[in-house]
Amino acid sequence: MINAINKDKAKEWENTEVINDPLTDLLRTRAKALIQQAVEAELQSFLVTILRSLIWRAV
């Protein structure tokens, strides 16, 4: 097999779950903040929709 990867040359990762470098930390922090903002916006929109529905029923 010409295109086969030689395992001796492949880098073995001890733990692929944890990557600690400044760029990864920054990206992870910003991603969490963006996700939080998106969830908060969706929740606010949902609550406004529910409140409008309740007000409409009360009228």
pLDDT, tens digit only, all 59 positions of the chain? 455 555 666 666 666 667 789 999 999 999 999 999 999 999 999 999 999 999 999 87
Predicted local confidence at residue 7, as pLDDT: 60
Predicted local confidence at residue 58, as pLDDT: 85
Predicted local confidence at residue 43, as pLDDT: 98
- List C-alpha distances in Å: 12 to 4, 9, 27, 32, 39: 16, 9, 24, 29, 37
Provide the sign of the torsion angle of the four alpha carbons 50, 54, 56, 57, taken in this order.
Answer: positive
Predicted TM-score of the model (pTM): 0.59
